[in-house]
Amino acid sequence: MKNTIILAAAPLLALALSIPAHAADSYGTVAANASTAGRVIDVTPATRYVNVANGETVTIRMGGDSFTWTVATRSNVDAVPLARVAPEGSPATSAVVYVAPSASYHNS
């Protein structure tokens, strides 16, 4: 009976492990070192949007909190709610991040 329960739970465990820990994983990564950021973006409660480029690393300051994010979205993603990429516990915001294509993909 014990083995049957374990086998029945295996697909659920596999599904749980395949779900990203945080939505930021779908839109890039939180950078380990803030010194890699090319610029700092201050977000206030009045901020409605911010602009970044795909591939860019930015530090976003919200109140007393900040995080450094390397933007890595799919080519069909051009806007992301900031709350989706901010670490858990960050101040609430309704700002939208508009993602421009990487400059390295533009025709010269």
Tens digit of each residue's pLDDT (9 = 90 or more) over 66-87:
999 999 988 889 999 999 988 8
C-alpha radius of gyration, the chain, whole number: 18
Q: What is the pLDDT of residue 94?
A: 92
- Domains of the chain: which residue ranges? 23-105
- Mean pLDDT, the chain, integer: 78
Chain CA centroid to CA 43, Å: 15
Query: Looking at domain 23-105, does it have CATH number 2.60.40.2280?
Result: yes
Q: What is the pLDDT of residue 15?
A: 36
